[in-house]
Structure 1
């Protein structure tokens, strides 16, 4: 969940910044300065190793979306393997969560496509779309967690 919050933070930063020219060392400086302000800075730094070089806020936002998609895919796969031997209530919660993760991946995929094709004349509209889709992905993750309220056992 922290990675998606980090993603939203990056998208907000991107939406308020103009195109930034790349400078030597800018990649690590950009990641460092962005992670310092994240809600989970340690997680941000740890996940940033998956991003590759990020020389602009756009690069960093795209990397964050890719990491979030990867984590959602991992969670979905992990939960699918946990259904065996669970109560009906636990199986339903797990199945619903897998569905929510799938929807999150779709929303994040739309976000990434939008970020890859930003244009000056439609930048505001495109960023609004990207923020909406990323927010929907975060909502899906929260809905997944909500499905486990009242579930006993070790599924939580």
Structure 2
């Protein structure tokens, strides 16, 4: 009887150990980590939605989470930049629409440039310590903040009823989404920096 109980106990412990190491458990922990981290951002639902597919590579790493968030922001900014550059080719644009789109193209180009620098800079943080770490993180925070300003400036360029219409609505929707993702990325970079 004691031997049977011991075997049962050992098998139970083995089962529990296997479950704890299973890909499902790891994926669940990574998803929970992303949700918890995103809860401190300004747009938590968008944060989780944009990052959940990357849970296997993020695991529970604040650095990898910040890096992934920046990469997602960069990808969306590039896509939006391409979209805005196609919009300027529309026939029948009003002069104000054309000017707003042209300005937005410049802002989105600047945003893409700054986010690209941020992604590269954060990669250098891995080896950095002390003041060197703070310098790299400060660069990332500055560039991401500037990218967010660029995105908001693009949206502001379409203010006023004179520009109401499909062009304004379609550009605004995409740029606002990029700005929200960028805001979340900045928050996650700040979280990562505060844990070092």
Q: Deviating runs (4+, > 4 A) in structure 1?
A: none
1:134 aligned onto 2:144: yes
1:95 aligned onto 2:95: no
Q: Structure 1, unaligned stretches of length 5 or more?
A: 1-23
Give the corresponding residue for 1:31: 34
1:74 aligned onto 2:75: no
The answer to whether the Cα contact below 8 Å between 2:31 and 2:52 also exists between their aligned partners in 1 is no
1:3-152 superposed matches below 5 A: 24-25=26-27, 26-52=29-55, 53-55=57-59, 56-83=61-88, 84=90, 85-118=92-125, 119-121=128-130, 122-150=132-160, 151-152=162-163
Q: Structure 2, unaligned stretches of length 5 or more?
A: 1-25, 169-196
State which drifts further: 91-100 or 77-86. Answer: 77-86
- Cα distance change of structure 1 residues 50 and 70 upon mapping to structure 2, 3 Å threshold: farther
Count of residues in Structure 1 that have an aligned counterpart in Structure 2? 134
**How many Å apart are 1:50 and its aligned residue?**
4.7
TM-score, L = length of structure 2: 0.63
Which structure: larger Rg? 2
The answer to whether the Cα contact below 8 Å between 2:100 and 2:158 also exists between their aligned partners in 1 is yes
Q: CA RMSD in A?
A: 1.8
Give the corresponding residue for 1:153: 164
1:117 counterpart SS class: helix
The answer to whether the Cα contact below 8 Å between 1:50 and 1:67 also exists between their aligned partners in 2 is no
